[in-house]
């Protein structure tokens, strides 16, 4: 009888599946691209991706629970940035980010 895959391999597969769920939404891909450049507030992220604050907050919360983002509070603002994540380091979503365009919002 064959041995099942190691717990480490199974854990890695679970983490990769979670990462794929996060990137199944285009707005969450845009959020990752934005945050690759620098940390941003919820309002800055919402403005940049053209989404409402409640919708953006839901995406950010899901991404934080999935260990893709971390947040910090400064006064009344919550800032988000990419988490130190070994799966994200080699992620094709980041590799395929448009290199010749800034993700900064246009006035």
15-71 pLDDT, tens digit per residue, is 778 888 888 899 999 999 899 889 999 999 999 999 999 999 999 999 999 889 999
Q: Given a cut of 60, is residue 107 above it in pLDDT?
A: no
Q: Given a cut of 80, is residue 93 above it in pLDDT?
A: no
Measured between alpha carbons, how far is residue 102 from residues 42, 49, 85 in Å? 18, 13, 23
Does residue 47 or residue 85 have the better pLDDT? 47
Which pLDDT value is given to residue 15?
79
pTM of the full structure: 0.77
> CATH number of the domain at 14-83, please?
1.10.10.10
Which pLDDT value is given to residue 70?
96
């Amino acid at each position: 009888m064959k041995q099942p895959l190691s717990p480490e391999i199974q854990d890695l597969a679970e983490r990769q599946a979670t990462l794929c769920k996060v990137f199944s939404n285009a707005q969450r891909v845009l959020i990752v691209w934005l945050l690759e450049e620098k940390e941003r507030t919820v309002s800055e992220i919402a403005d940049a991706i053209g989404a409402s604050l409640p919708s953006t907050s839901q995406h950010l919360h899901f991404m934080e629970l999935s260990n893709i983002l971390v947040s910090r509070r400064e006064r009344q603002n919550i800032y988000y940035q990419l988490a130190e994540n070994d799966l994200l380091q080699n992620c094709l979503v980041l590799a395929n980010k448009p290199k010749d365009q800034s993700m900064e919002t246009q006035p």
